[in-house]
Copies of this chain bind each other. A is one copy, B any other.
């Protein structure tokens, strides 16, 4: 009786707002209000509507249609500079992402994940079709096509760590400063023979020694800055020709391999500066493999202070950055942009050298 005229046979079809409205005998607007603005109708009616919906198997307004009508998809896109495996092998990524995810989820926003490929970011097509109304870029190379794609869509963006991009909100870390402090620490301890272990300077995953030219081509800002921090401090102290090994990713196994090479240099380094804790874990292992001891024979520093760092053997001296906070900040920034507020200046999170047992003066 209270049903709409003809369209009644179509059983298997999914119910919509209209279906429910028809059955209850109210207008579509009222059903919508039942879900979105409970104060706009009487409790009694609202309950009747919800009951009817339940019975009809209507599970609430369709998210896509709702997004179209409200012009907001309630999702934030997360673009990554690497494939997922590479990214998540390093807690430095997953902890940040976790902070971000819980922040945006608190506001009923979803996270659209866009992993990178060999070229160092998601495909622009992926970005163009992603249903998100703000994007977060994490560790993309400066020239990633994905960035242009976001820009073309005219959507706001927050960048964490890099790249530095005009008009985008930003949360950043003083990578250079952190790296400098690690190098200075080792210098102060009296070390003169160094080795540096870094992760990828550019997308594509090369593994091998880094020369001046390769260094100049670096397109990952984080890598560039940490490396520069290490080498500049050493150069200022008159130490040049420092061997540098580039691992294609931030994984302990790759750090271990690189360290093998570094330990074969002559003179053998007494101190290893690593661009991440994961690499440093590999370095610790390689030192042990070589029948040497950390810190007696070789001091090792990391970067990030991931949870495992303090439990390493020996506990790792490293540069701490507040990973979870970075993620949260990025999330908050993204939500602010969604609210149309201005991004404000870049948010800087602090770094701090954490001294543990993996460093000591050379013998």
Contact = CB atoms under 8 A, between A and B. Distances in A.
Of A14, A78, A105, A114, most B-chain CB atoms within 10 Å: A105
A170 B149 CA distance: 35
A355 interface: no
Contacts of A97: 84, 88
Given A130-B63, A308-B252, A94 B105 contact: no
A128 B59 contact: yes
A317 to B, nearest CB: 18
B101 A94 contact: no
A33 interface: no
A43 interface: no
B98 A84 contact: yes
Nearest to A60: B128
A149 B63 CA distance: 13
Contacts of A32: none
Copies in the complex: 2
A65 interface: yes
A84 B89 contact: no
A105 B123 contact: yes
A296 interface: no
Interface in A112-148: 112-115, 122-123, 125-126, 128-131
A154 B14 contact: yes
Contacts of A176: none
A250 to B, nearest CB: 13
A167 B357 CA distance: 55
A75 B126 contact: no
Nearest to A149: B59
A354 interface: no
Interface string A91-107: 10111011001100100
B59 A152 contact: yes
B75 A84 contact: no
Interface stretch (A66-74, A193-201, A214-222, A261-269): A66-74
Given A130-B110, A154-B57, A307-B253, A101 B115 contact: yes
A313 interface: yes
Nearest to A58: B152
Contacts of A88: 88, 91, 93-94, 97-98
A233 B355 CA distance: 47
Interface of A: 14, 57, 59-60, 63-68, 73-75, 78, 83-85, 87-89, 91, 93-95, 97-98, 101-102, 105, 108, 110-115, 122-123, 125-126, 128-131, 149, 152-154, 251-253, 256, 285, 288, 307-308, 311, 313
12 contacts: A59-B128, A59-B152, A63-B130, A83-B98, A88-B98, A89-B94, A102-B115, A105-B123, A110-B114, A111-B112, A112-B112, A251-B307
